[in-house]
Amino acid sequence: MSNKSYGVLLVGGYRSHQENYAFQFLSDPRCRLVASADDANAPVERVELNQRLAKQLDLPYQDLETALQRTDVDLVSLCPEAERRAEIAVKCAKAGKHLYLDKPLAPNPRDARKIVNVVQETGVKNQMFSNVYCGWAQQAKQTLNSGQVGDLRAIHCDITFAKGHPGSAPKGKRNEPGERPRYTFVEAKPELFDIGVYAVSIINWLTQKRVKSLVATTSNYFFKEHVACGVEDFGTIVMKLEDETTASVSCGRFGWTSHPLSGIQKLRLVGTERSICFDAHQPRLEIYTAEPAFQPPVPHPLDPMGMWGGTTVDAIPKKTWKTVGGTDWIKREFQAFVDAIENDTPTEMTAELAAHSVEIITAAYRSAATGRMVELD
C-alpha cells in the first residue's frame, strides 16, 4: 500500500446512500474527505440534506463547479438523485475526477451511455456500487471459473429487501406503463430497478454475457405507497443470454416481517455437472450432484453410537457445509475501488457493465407493459 492520500468529494447527503459511502471512504486510511458539493440546479430540499451531512462530517459545502477546481479532489462519491446522476458524472469526469457511482447507474439507457462515453473519453476510474464483493458472490465467481458446475445452462438470483410495512396494497392486477418518467420518490422506489439492479448486475458480472431477449412482469403485492407513486414493489425477469444460457431474477420489497435479517439474497448456478446454491444469510453452499450420499457405518458392537474414528472406517462421510460468508464485504467494495486507482487496475462493476443492467431493466418494463418478449440490440 502506498503513502498516497486520495481526496474524496461527496455529492449527496442524508436520505441517500452517501450516509454510508462517506463513512466507508473515511475508514480507508488512504482516503480523506475534503468537501461536499452539488450542482447549482439541485433541489432546495436536497441541498439542505447535503448540508446536514457536511456539517456532521465537518466539511465545507461548495458549488460543484468550485469544488471540481480543487486540486486536492481525486475522486467523487456520487449519490445525487438518479435523474441528475449522468449530468453530474459527466462534469466530474471531464474535470479528471475518478467516479464512485451509486446504483443504478442511470434511470434510462440514454443517460447511462453518457456516463460510459465520458469515462471512456477521459480514462477516469469508475465503479458502481453493487454486491459483487459479498462472500457468496465471490464464491460463486470462483466456483463458476473453476468449472465445477460444468457448462453453465441456467442462473437464477433472488434478492428481496425486508423493509417497510406490508399488507396495505389493494388486491388487483398492476397496469404497467412501461416507461419511468420519474425514478425518485420520497415514499417508494421502482423496486425492479432499485433492488433488481443488484440481481441483474450480479448475473452480468458472473457471466460476462449480454442479454439478447427477455420477458418480465411487475406487480404491486404489498405497499400502498408504491401504488400511490405508480411504481411496482416486486418484479421478475427471465432472460436469454447471447450464448443461450437462461438467466432469471426475482426481486422486490417484502416488508420488515418477511425475513429475520435484511432480506433474501440467493443465487443458483445450474450446470451440466451439478447445481450449486449460494445463500447470503446462511454462510454455506448447497451442492446437488450425482456423488454418493452419506452412508452410515454398520454399528460396531463395542461402539454402537459411532463415537470413535476407529470403528467408523466403512462410512461414506457426510458432505460438510462450505463457508462462503463474511461481513466485511462493503469495506472490500470501497477498498477495491481505491486499489484500482492506486494500482491502475480494472474495477469489477464498471460503468459499461452497469449500463447493460439499465438496458435490461428498462427493456423489462416494456415487456411487462406489453406482455411480450423484448429483444435487445
The pLDDT of residue 294 is above 70 = no
Looking at the fold, whether 22 and 106 belong to one and the same domain comes out as: yes
Cα–Cα nearest to 40, from 63, 13, 10: 63
pLDDT tens per residue, range 245-263: 999 999 999 888 888 778 8
Show which of 63, 90, 124 is a domain's final residue. 124
pLDDT tens per residue, range 201-235: 999 999 999 999 999 999 999 999 999 999 999 99
Looking at the fold, whether 20 and 102 belong to one and the same domain comes out as: yes
Q: Comparing 176-185, 204-213, 214-223, 340-349, which segment has the lowest mean pLDDT? A: 176-185
Looking at the fold, whether 268 and 362 belong to one and the same domain comes out as: yes
Looking at the fold, whether 203 and 250 belong to one and the same domain comes out as: yes
Element (H, E) at 160: strand 152-161
The pLDDT of residue 2 is above 90 = no
Q: What confidence category does residue 149 fall into, taking pLDDT thresholds of 50, 70 and 90?
A: very high
Q: What is the mean pLDDT of residues 100-106?
A: 98
pLDDT of residue 125: 98
The CA distance from 130 to 159, in Å, is: 12
Determine the residue type at 160: T
Report if residue 345 sits inside a domain: no
**DSSP notation for 295-320:** BPPPPBTTBTT--SGGG-TTPBPPPP
What share of the chain in percent tops pLDDT 70? 88
**DSSP notation for 273-285:** S-EEEEETTTTEE
- How many domains does the chain divide into? 2
The CA distance from 231 to 186, in Å, is: 12
pLDDT of residue 305: 42
Looking at the fold, whether 147 and 215 belong to one and the same domain comes out as: yes
Q: Comparing 121-135, 301-315, 326-340, which segment has the lowest mean pLDDT? A: 301-315
Cα–Cα nearest to 31, from 12, 51, 9: 9
Looking at the fold, whether 173 and 110 belong to one and the same domain comes out as: no
The pLDDT of residue 146 is above 50 = yes
Q: What confidence category does residue 318 fall into, taking pLDDT thresholds of 50, 70 and 90?
A: very low
- Decide: 189 and 230 in contact? Cβ < 8 Å: no
Contacts of 200 (CB under 8 A, 6+ apart): 237, 249, 357, 360, 361
Looking at the fold, whether 366 and 231 belong to one and the same domain comes out as: yes
* Domain membership of residue 185 as a residue range: 135-283+323-327+356-375
Distance of CA 97 to the CA centre of its chain: 23
Show which of 124, 149, 181 is a domain's final residue. 124
Report if residue 334 sits inside a domain: no
The CA distance from 64 to 67, in Å, is: 5
Cα–Cα nearest to 33, from 96, 92, 76: 76
Report if residue 296 sits inside a domain: no
pLDDT tens per residue, range 39-98: 999 999 999 999 999 999 999 999 999 999 999 999 999 999 999 999 999 999 999 999
pTM higher than 0.75: yes
pLDDT of residue 73: 98
Looking at the fold, whether 172 and 275 belong to one and the same domain comes out as: yes
Report if residue 145 sits inside a domain: yes
The CA distance from 185 to 225, in Å, is: 10
Contacts of 19 (CB under 8 A, 6+ apart): 13, 53
pLDDT of residue 296: 58
Looking at the fold, whether 25 and 49 belong to one and the same domain comes out as: yes
Report if residue 174 sits inside a domain: yes
Average pLDDT of every residue of the chain: 90
Report if residue 52 sits inside a domain: yes
- 330-358 b/e with 16+ CB inside 10 Å = b? bebbbbbbbbbbeeeeebbbbbbbbbbbb
